[in-house]
Every structure is written in C-alpha cells, then in structure tokens.
Amino acid sequence: MNSARDPRIAIVGAGLGGLTCARVLQQHGRHVTVFEREASADARPQGGTLDLHVDTGQAALRAAGLLDRFHALARPEGEEWRVLDFADATLLAHQGPSAVGGRPEIDRGQLRGLLLDSLTEGTVRWDRPVTGATPLPDGTCRLLFRDGTAEDFDLVVGADGAWSRIRPALSQAAPRYTGVTFVETGFDHCDTRHPDLARLVGNGSMLVKGAGRSLAAQRNSNGHIRAYIALREPENWHVAAGIDLDDQRAVRTYLLRMFDGWDESLRYVLSNSDSGFINRPLFVLPAPHTWEHVPGVTLLGDAAHLMPPVGLGANLAMLDGSDLAHALVAESGIGDAVRAYESIMLPRSIEAATSSAPGLDHLVPATAS
Ligand SMILES: Cc1cc2nc3c(=O)[nH]c(=O)nc-3n(C[C@H](O)[C@H](O)[C@H](O)COP(=O)(O)OP(=O)(O)OC[C@H]3O[C@@H](n4cnc5c(N)ncnc54)[C@H](O)[C@@H]3O)c2cc1C
C-alpha cells in the first residue's frame, strides 16, 4: 500500500540526478535509500568538467542548499572556449568567461563528492546492482537485485543512467548508437609538461573540427587536460581495425593517420597524451521519449532522456532530481507527486532532446564546413 506519511522511496543510481533527489528529500525530512552498483564512491574516475547552468544545475543545487559550496569549488574562468582551424590551429572563434556569464565549471568528481557528503550516512548502499523493477498490483514496486534478493518500495526512481534497468518497467525504448564515438585521453600537469597544448586550450576548452573528426580538449582542475578525439566511425572501430586499445603505440599510429593534414600542434593530442585511450561510443534515446504513468515507478536523468553530450544532460538530471523531490514533498500522495513531476519533466526533456539532436552534427560535422 502507498503510505503518504512514511513512504519507502528507493533511488537506483548514485549519479548526479539520483543524489540531488536524495539530498532534497532528506532536507525535507524524508527517508530515502540509494542503491548503487559500484563498490564505493571512488570505484572509478567520474569524468570531465561540467558547466552548470543557472536555471537547471545551479537551480537544483540552490534547492539542495549547496550552491555556496559549489561556488567555492567551481572555476568561473573555465567558461572560456576557443574554436581553432584544423589545418593551422589559428583561432576561428573565442569566448571569454565574462561574455558567457553564469556557467562556472566544476569537475564531475568534485560535484558528486559535494552531493555525497551532504547525505545522511548510510543513505547510499554501495555494491547493490539492480537487475530490474516490477510494478505490483497495489501500486508499489518490487526492486530486484543481482544477488537474487528483492525489496518492495512505494516508489522506485530509476536514476541509473543510459542503460537503465528500471526503464523497461515504463517503456520499451532502447538507446541507439549515434554514429559518433569519443576516444578519451588525458594530460597531467599541462602547464609545465605540455605548455603549448595548455596555451591552445586556455582556461576552458578548445574545439577543432574536420570532416568526420573533431578534437575537443578541456581543462579540469589540478592542471589536467581531458581530450576527446571524436570520430564518425562504427562503434567498435578499433576491433574492425584490429587495434588493441591497450596498445597505445598502435592506437596513436592509427589515429595519426586519421588526422593526416591537421596541424602538428593539434596532432600532439594524439601522439603525446599521458594516459591511454578509452573508447566512449555515444548513444541516445529516441526523441521524443515518453511513457504512460505507471504507479510506483518513474525515471530521471539519462534513464529518462539520454541525449547527445552538448552540455545539458547532467544539468537536466539534477533539475529532475530536485523537481521530483519537491513534488514528493508537496503532494499528499506518491501517485499525484509522480504525475506532477512527469507533467513537468517529460515536456521539458522532449524539448531539450529534440533541440540537442542536431548538436552532434555541429560538434562532429560529417563533411568539412
Ligand atoms: C563525454 C560526455 C560529456 C558530457 N558533458 C556534459 C556536460 O558538459 N554537461 C552536462 O550537463 N552533461 C554532460 N554530459 C551528460 C551527462 O554526463 C549525463 O547526462 C549525466 O551524467 C546523467 O546523470 P544521471 O544521474 O542521470 O546518470 P549517471 O551519471 O549515468 O549515473 C547513473 C548511476 O547509476 C548507477 N547504475 C547504473 N546501473 C545501475 C544498476 N543496474 N544498479 C545500480 N546502480 C546502477 C551508475 O553506476 C551511476 O552511478 C556528458 C556526457 C558525456 C558522455
């Protein structure tokens, strides 16, 4: 049975969206448990830098009472961006922080740490991979765990990202490959070890576009530069090419051939990075993606609206989390709360997914522009 007084709320996934939801719920005195498949907060590096927008990511942090702590960690100078010509690395476009305004950058790991630290101890149950959710006839939902156990909740929130195990309870939609993969690599102590690259990237990020290939590099905290080598290639291009991604020399040789004709200062990204290469194929959910309300279960963030990485996904996931928590606090019943949340979140994410769909073509044009 649904209980408006002390509902049992489970969030699956300790990403930015799930943690924001948990934090706002706890601020309003609600009990919540977050189930995360990873063994600990430090189980894997969390990825690059994010710019948080005033009306989405920052609004969510304000609701979570964490905006001041965010500003203490954030890098306003990181808003700077440059577009360079692939053939000679000359500057084609540049925007400094003051012109952009209001979108400071923060390392994803720092932001996640901020949210984790704000939660009551024991809120996140680490090493609890979920395999699925079954809505029950009485309006509650059964959560199934990989170890074969199950637990019933008044509300299960799927905040488990692109490959959500909760989504099938609501929708048959599945992510599809966009045709673009990001090959990630990195540079440490860039100002002393890689000063020419550090100058090209500046305080923020750099984008260089060619036909079917782009290079994006972003300055993270502690002098680290993270680079994405964007390729319009099959998802497993390296397998087709017979390349072992752990064989750095082979990857570098292959990529350098792909970037033939690019300025040497840019090819440096391929030949001199400190870390190895990680292939990150980009997937999206069909847009629009929506579902009929099902009692006892809902989605937020990438689980609901996986879209190309054009700077919205994390911001929207956090806003979803905050909106859902507020609805749960404001409404007397869980069903009404989830309907209220979905009536805001679904149209918003449909609009964002539709408008961001061409963004990848802009980022990695199929032909030379
Ligand atoms: C290269 C790249 C760059 C990006 N840059 C930006 C940017 O600049 N700005 C921006 O706003 N967005 C950006 N995004 C998008 C952003 O990363 C996502 O939209 C955001 O992380 C979604 O947050 P989430 O909380 O919904 O999901 P996630 O961050 O994916 O978190 C999901 C959590 O669920 C856990 N989980 C998954 N499956 C299970 C399971 N079965 N059981 C238990 N736990 C599970 C995962 O371990 C994870 O902790 C970028 C994405 C990419 C790929």
Q: pLDDT for 135-167, tens place per residue?
A: 999 999 999 999 999 999 999 999 999 999 999
Closest to 19 (Cα-Cα) out of 109, 144, 142: 109
9-76+101-175+285-362 against 179-282: fold identical: no
CA of 361 to the centre of ligand 1 (A): 21
Q: Are 53 and 104 in contact (CB under 8 A)?
A: no
Token digits of residue 175:
């992510």
CA of 92 to the centre of ligand 1 (A): 31
* pLDDT band with cut points at 50, 70 and 90 for residue 93: very high
Domain ranges of the chain: 9-76+101-175+285-362, 179-282
Give the Cα separation of 103 and 94 in Å (integer).
16
The per-residue pLDDT of the chain, averaged, comes to: 94
The answer, as to whether pTM is greater than 0.85, is yes
| Ligand 1 pocket, Cβ-based, cut-off 6 angstroms | 12-18, 35-38, 50-51, 129-130, 159-161, 165, 182, 280, 301-303, 309, 311-315, 317
Specify the residue for token string 């907060």. Answer: 41
Q: Please tell me the predicted confidence (pLDDT) of residue 303.
A: 98
pLDDT value at 5 more than 80: no
How many other β-carbons are positioned within 10 Å of the β-carbon of residue 139? 17
Phi-psi region of 47 (alpha: psi -120 to 50; beta: other; left: phi over 0): left
Q: Are 322 and 11 in contact (CB under 8 A)?
A: no
Q: Domain 179-282: which topology?
A: D-Amino Acid Oxidase; Chain A, domain 2 (3.30.9)
Q: Please tell me the predicted confidence (pLDDT) of residue 227.
A: 97
* pLDDT band with cut points at 50, 70 and 90 for residue 10: very high
- The residue whose CA is least distant from atom 37 of ligand 1 is 160
Phi-psi region of 176 (alpha: psi -120 to 50; beta: other; left: phi over 0): beta
CA of 338 to the centre of ligand 1 (A): 22
Tens of pLDDT, residue by residue over 275-331, are 999 999 999 999 999 999 999 999 999 999 999 998 899 999 999 999 999 999 998
Give the Cα separation of 270 and 277 in Å (integer).
10
What integer is the mean pLDDT of 103-126? Answer: 96
Q: Which of 53-67, 85-99, 192-206 has the lowest mean pLDDT?
A: 85-99
Any idea what DSSP says for residue 241? T
The length of the chain, given as a count of residues: 369
9-76+101-175+285-362 — its CATH code? 3.50.50.60
CA contacts within 13 A on the Cβ side of 362:
9
